[in-house]
Amino acid sequence: MLYYALVFLVIAIIAGVLGFSGIAGASAGIAQILFFVFLVLLVVSLLFGWSRRV
């Protein structure tokens, strides 16, 4: 999932440089959402992984 967030971030940067502000904004929004979902899933997996070991 982090890979897809980085892909959309690169698309947003390229689209921003080329002047496609609508595509850049949408790609940046998708990248931001995917990054936060990745962080939440990481924290959840760490919490459940530690609780099962104890």
Residue type, 19: G
Predicted confidence at residue 54, as pLDDT, reads 55
Predicted confidence at residue 37, as pLDDT, reads 93
Tokens of 19: 């002047």
Q: Closest Cα partner for 9 from 23, 51, 46, 41?
A: 23
Residue-number span of the structural domain to which 43 is assigned: 2-53
Predicted confidence at residue 52, as pLDDT, reads 63
The Cα–Cα gap between 5 and 15 comes to 15
Overall domain count for the chain: 1
3-state secondary structure 1-54: CHHHHHHHHHHHHHHHHHCCHHHHHHHHHHHHHHHHHHHHHHHHHHHHHHHHHC
Block mean pLDDT (10 aa), the chain, length 54: 84 89 89 92 87 60
